[in-house]
Structure 1
Amino acid sequence: MSIEPLSFPTDAAGWAAFATERPAERIARVHEVDARLKSGSVISARERLALWNDAEIALQQALSEAYVLSEAHPDAAVRELAETQVQAVESLTSQRLLDRDLWAAFSEASGDGLDPDETRLLAHLLRDFRRGGVHLEATERERARWLADRDTELSLTFSRNIRDGRREITVPRSGLAGMPQDFVDAHPADENGMVTLSTDYPDLMPVREYATDRATRHALVGAYNDLAWPENEPVLAELLAVRAERAALLGYADWADFETETRMIGSGAEIRTFLARLDEASLAAAEAEYAVLVERLQRDVPTADVVTIADFWHLLSTIKAERFDVDPQLVRSYFPFDRVLPGVLDVTGRLMQVEYQPVDADAWHDDVRSYDVVRDGVRLGRIHLDLHPREGKFSHAACFPIAPGIADRVLPEAALLCNFSRGLLEHDQVVTFFHEFGHLVHEILGGRQRFARFAGVQAEWDFVEAPSQLLEEWAWDPEVLASFTANADGHPIPADLVRRMRTADAFGRALEVRRQLGHANVSYELHIHRPADLQAEVERLYASTSPVQPLPGLHPYAGFGHLTGYGACYYTYQWSLVIARDLLTGFAGGLMNETDASRYRHLVLEPGGSQDAKDLVEAFLGRPYSFEAYQEWLGEASTEVAVPRT
């Protein structure tokens, strides 16, 4: 049976209706399902679970569509309408988990005769009811409902302020010293000889790497580190308080304990243990790397005694050019966007044994490219690539589900919202493209589930980055890159250059882990301790975690978008990386080996969330995952510190 993809509107009125009437219809459908479940007319547990699944499909469709519009639609009025619907759907979701009549429909149901998928769904559902607060007395249940709604409202406000928080600075034309010529040409000076730079990624990322004018780097990175401030200061303070109260009301020691109950790590205390392990594993190599950065900075600025975050990427790039003969401007010359996009599609298509067939479909903006994902003539899903920055759009890079993949019912759809240049890309951006595409293929290939609860990227939240981090490795392979790169003369990137890039990449790796550790400490400690002075505490946490220092007096937490979705659990990125490095050992036959790739698809991606993540990984590796591959990868950093200058 052919399942049709979504059909998007073509005019303003249609989009307004899409943002309001569609979620309203699905909310009405959920109310109908709940009335049946509470009526007592549905006897068997299997029928009740099927009805619950119907409601969850409707809720996921409404929520996903509204989230994408709230972050990507060019019309602010549509974004606002979509935000209202996000809040309505999130509110209904929390209300259902506080409904004792609904709870009774499942808590009293017999699990006899259920198959493994149904048994798993029932167990997850009963856990969700408990975590929602259904067991509380009436007054406390109402407070739990209000807190959940307030969390959603504050999180949406926090994200909106970041999305709308774009900043600009002006610098003299001389401030562009060191920048690539195409960048300089794209940023002409005004009548006063001043050049405008923005905090959008196509400006920020090249400036922080190439600008030899330290004042320019500090000014732009400083502006970026003050995104959404002061607007998000009170928003974050209240969000932390709301989550702390909600955790206590539900019987948890803190918000980290609440969040980690459903994750691989298991408890908030284990976050501390894991972060301590990262600290020990990276400390010595990071200190050695930092000494090299200080020495190099002092050659340009003899009085400098501290490397700041505004110096970090520039110094890494400079040292890699000098020590490893990796010229970043030469590297970027091989990555024009118009070759990278088809290259990512070709490589992942061959790896996943799918084709991406362009479709002439309407979407929320003319920039959006849509493709059907096809295997053996069968459409598996549809993807939408929205890859360039614009005003009012989500300002980072992420995959957004649009439709949950339900076998024989709903075609999986998802979108990438990124902010890539239309010209030459930095290699880091190519890595990011592969990373986000990892989420995208996971969402589509895992989207043939029976239950919405397990569709697509629905495994434990501290596992979901692992498939994406794994796919980053393909952006470092000489043969893979040679298959789609080309400079202005049409020559692919040389294999020897890619090998030098890999060697150079090891330098600074421990410092990057320390930077990620700083983010993890901030997300965890803010949720645990809720400091009265957010600025001072965040600056202290970053300064004490990494030798690379934050710019003083700024407010990077106000633009730290992951504080909403990831909460206290930013540790996830390094936890997933441990698994990703181990998963890579399963590709013993090479990155494009069909047998290894097929096993990976079948055993890790296609099950979606229908199995525990540790079991998926063990099935692929033939053993439980371990820390060893990550430790070895991190250890490569220390071997590169002492490489003599060339």
Structure 2
Amino acid sequence: MTTPEPLAFPTDPAGWTAFATERPTAAVAVVADVDARLVAGTDLDAAARLELWNDAEIALLAATNESYLLSEAHPDAAVRAIAEEQVQRLEALSASRLLDRDLFQAMAAADAAAEPADAAATAADLDDQQRRLLAKVLQDFRRGGVDLPDAERERVRELTDRDTELSLTFSRNIRDGRREIRVTPEALAGLPQDFLDAHPVGDDGLVVLTTDYPDLMPVREYARDRATRTAIVAAYNDLAWPENDPVLAELLAVRAERAGLLGYGDWADYETEPRMIGGGGKNGGRAIAEFLDRLDEASADAAQREYGILLARLQQDDPDATEVTIADLFYLLSTLRGERHDVDAQLVRSYFRFDRVLPGLLATTGRLLDVEYVPVDVPTWHADVHSYDVVRAGARLGRIHLDLHPRDGKYTHAACFGLAQGVAGRVLPEAVLLCNFARGLMTHDEVVTFFHEFGHLVHDILGGAQRFARFTGVATEWDFVEAPSQLLEEWAWDAGVLSSFTANADGEPIPADLVERMKVADGFGRALEVRRQLGHAQVSYHLHVDRPADLQAATEHWYDATSPVKPLRGRHPYAGFGHLTGYGACYYTYQWSLVIARDLLSGFGGDLMNPDAAARYRREILEPGGSRDAADLVRAFLGRDYGFDAYREWLAGR
């Protein structure tokens, strides 16, 4: 088997413009050729049809991934604009293929050829992976609308293309929507000295704060001045508003009409059909509601108890306070953890310098996953990017690119972007982290986020040696994909792991007893955090299913009704809720997969660096990618079906 080479990036502006335009054009040509051969190839057997389909998917996925990445990360606005146009072109091509009746008949013929009438005619038989691919492809065609009458098929095409266009606009408005506030130096009381040093007083006597994470997160956790916390969270809650108000309203309408034309009750039913929660049926929307009700029942009483403690503590600072808002939550949790458990968040932060966390994470996951990360000096889209080959026993398994600090025009949250979908012997898997971490000291929350996103990255690489592009990397059911990342967060809470790379100004690692207190303290507020996540899930579900006329009022209602911690009134957080495009009605995914992740943790038997458990985890969970159903992966690792008990115990702080 040949060893594929990694991508080669341009080194100059003209090269990037060509990269952004010519590679998608070449991919479109490949797909057109494949599709013509499929339609004309009446003599092709089932296996040959699937191989051709795989050829087209390899080309299409590569071009689409590259374009999405450039649209979110390239520093040149002109290149980002070209990439967005290419995303629309490529997504339109993907959708149009699933509406092409001739192409559908070509693949349906593969299904017929795979079931020969003569039992002795075994030559056309397919193996398990081929059958799995064929079933998924035919399901895609049906979900794409290929069986609809002509007029409805054409309307589905229009709606699908419009969904892509609106989603790109929604994301661009968030990416470009950074807000600023100005406060007096006194308003920053409680912030660490290095933060103050990095935010000098301007000529007007005020300090500028932005909604970028390196400003937002420390201010909402450390600022003692309630008005300052409220101001920055309010600005963040109005990110991309009012620009995204009409965009989201139309997007919800487009999705509802599309779901109806395709025969689904609503967008939630459509999205969940191929996922774990949907079970292949068309009642996934009801299953979401039932799952959210289960979370509600599991967390309601504990959240009310926690809220009472938070409100009492807030009233020590502000006797007139009558409610805890989302702008108070992180400050109060941090304060109470310090007072109740002797966990000083700023002391904790002093141990986590970015330039130690990065190599520490690489060393930890390298040992866990039996890989090495070998730095490579290659051109990329920005000087901040660190690139590494992922190597085991001298063989290169893939390549990763880490783009970890904020800049203008870049994706504003933290996420893993697939770049090259690995195919055994044909395509080397590559993936990218786009994050917005501080360059100096990191909060522990940022470290946990780093481990989480890195979990997606290694899943993409280790699962990237599949035969078919459809099943490579993180291409499992969408509501399982977060579980490996949530599991990897646990290594950011392990005293032994943290002692291996942390150091304060005196070079001393974080003490084990402090880590233990951090873990105990983290149990306080856990139910409220579940309620916060439940609020996000309710908003994503109900905006798509109810389609309210007043997005602001509906969003505020669901946050208000879900958690005792109150939203800031009159704000528009839905306009900056980036997951409404990719996750749609299904933000429930984060808690669904967390139920699984908490159970997966039991497979390590209390020793996170257990080599036997780690090897079994790699083999049964990460390396298969999407080649098997997620429930089967979990069953293979745990030796049983996953359950809710571990999650319930975690929620109770045990």
TM category (shorter chain) comes to: over 0.9
Check conservation: 2:46, 2:109, Cα contact below 8 A.
no
Cα distance in structure 2, aligned partners of 1:40 and 1:445? 35
2:374 is paired with a residue whose SS is strand
Instruction: Please give the TM-score of this superposition, normalised by the length of structure 2.
Output: 0.97
Question: How far 1:592 moved relative to its partner?
Answer: 0.4
Cα distance in structure 2, aligned partners of 1:541 and 1:111? 49
Question: How far 1:2 moved relative to its partner?
Answer: 2.3
Q: Deviations over 1:65-123 (max 9, x none)?
A: 00000000000000000000001110000000000000001112222410000000000
1:343 is paired with a residue whose SS is helix
Structure 1 match to 2:358: 341
Check conservation: 1:535, 1:554, Cα contact below 8 A.
yes
Cα distance in structure 2, aligned partners of 1:165 and 1:405? 34
The one of 328, 342, 359 equivalent to 2:376 is 359
> What are the within-5 Å matches in structure 2 for residues 41-56 of structure 1?
41-56=42-57
Structure 1 match to 2:81: 80
Q: Deviations over 1:33-61 (max 9, x none)?
A: 00000113442010000000000000000
2:99 is paired with a residue whose SS is coil
The answer to whether structure 1 residue 622 and structure 2 residue 639 are counterparts is yes
Structure 2 match to 1:102: 103
Check conservation: 2:245, 2:575, Cα contact below 8 A.
yes
Structure 2 match to 1:19: 20
Cα distance in structure 2, aligned partners of 1:544 and 1:252? 28
Which AA in structure 1 matches 2:582? Answer: G
Check conservation: 2:3, 2:426, Cα contact below 8 A.
no
Structure 2 match to 1:198: 210
Cα distance in structure 1, aligned partners of 2:357 and 2:43? 53
- Runs (4+) of structure 1 moved beyond 3 Å? none
The one of 296, 302, 327 equivalent to 1:310 is 327
Question: How far 1:193 moved relative to its partner?
Answer: 1.4
Check conservation: 1:506, 1:636, Cα contact below 8 A.
yes
The one of 285, 306, 309 equivalent to 1:289 is 306
Which AA in structure 1 matches 2:165? Answer: E
Structure 1 match to 2:59: 58
Structure 2 match to 1:238: 250
Structure 2 match to 1:251: 263
Cα distance in structure 1, aligned partners of 2:296 and 2:493? 26
Structure 2: gaps of 5 or more residues: 116-124, 279-283
Question: How far 1:24 moved relative to its partner?
Answer: 0.5
> How many pairs align?
637
Check conservation: 2:452, 2:489, Cα contact below 8 A.
yes
Structure 1 match to 2:438: 421
Structure 2 match to 1:123: 135
Cα distance in structure 1, aligned partners of 2:242 and 2:623? 43
The answer to whether structure 1 residue 174 and structure 2 residue 186 are counterparts is yes
Which AA in structure 2 matches 1:482? Answer: S
The one of 157, 163, 168 equivalent to 1:145 is 157
1:381 is paired with a residue whose SS is strand
Query: Percent same amino acid at aligned positions?
Result: 71
Structure 2 match to 1:475: 492
Cα distance in structure 2, aligned partners of 1:419 and 1:625? 34
Structure 1 match to 2:566: 549
Cα distance in structure 1, aligned partners of 2:425 and 2:7? 15
The answer to whether structure 1 residue 326 and structure 2 residue 309 are counterparts is no
Q: Deviations over 1:475-532 (max 9, x none)?
A: 0000000010000100000000000000000000000000000000000000001100
Which AA in structure 1 matches 2:12? Answer: D
Check conservation: 1:42, 1:48, Cα contact below 8 A.
no
Which AA in structure 1 matches 2:148? Answer: L
Which AA in structure 1 matches 2:114? Answer: G
Structure 2 match to 1:111: 114
Q: Deviations over 1:156-182 (max 9, x none)?
A: 000000000001000001011000000
The one of 211, 224, 237 equivalent to 1:225 is 237
Q: CA RMSD in A?
A: 0.6
Structure 2 match to 1:212: 224
Question: How far 1:142 moved relative to its partner?
Answer: 0.5
Check conservation: 1:36, 1:42, Cα contact below 8 A.
no
Cα distance in structure 1, aligned partners of 2:410 and 2:347? 31
Check conservation: 1:117, 1:610, Cα contact below 8 A.
yes
Which AA in structure 2 matches 1:428? Answer: D
Cα distance in structure 2, aligned partners of 1:371 and 1:505? 33
Check conservation: 1:589, 1:596, Cα contact below 8 A.
no
Structure 2 match to 1:644: none
Which AA in structure 1 matches 2:243? Answer: E
Question: How far 1:568 moved relative to its partner?
Answer: 0.2
Structure 2 match to 1:447: 464
Cα distance in structure 2, aligned partners of 1:192 and 1:452? 56
Which AA in structure 1 matches 2:41? Answer: G
Question: How far 1:5 moved relative to its partner?
Answer: 0.2
Structure 1: gaps of 5 or more residues: 638-646
Cα distance in structure 2, aligned partners of 1:361 and 1:353? 24
2:258 is paired with a residue whose SS is helix
Check conservation: 2:187, 2:225, Cα contact below 8 A.
yes
1:379 is paired with a residue whose SS is strand
Structure 2 match to 1:526: 543
Check conservation: 2:104, 2:146, Cα contact below 8 A.
yes
The one of 161, 164, 182 equivalent to 2:173 is 161
Structure 2 match to 1:70: 71
Cα distance in structure 2, aligned partners of 1:506 and 1:280? 18
1:396 is paired with a residue whose SS is coil
Which AA in structure 1 matches 2:88? Answer: Q
Check conservation: 1:309, 1:551, Cα contact below 8 A.
yes
The answer to whether structure 1 residue 490 and structure 2 residue 507 are counterparts is yes
Cα distance in structure 2, aligned partners of 1:318 and 1:413? 41
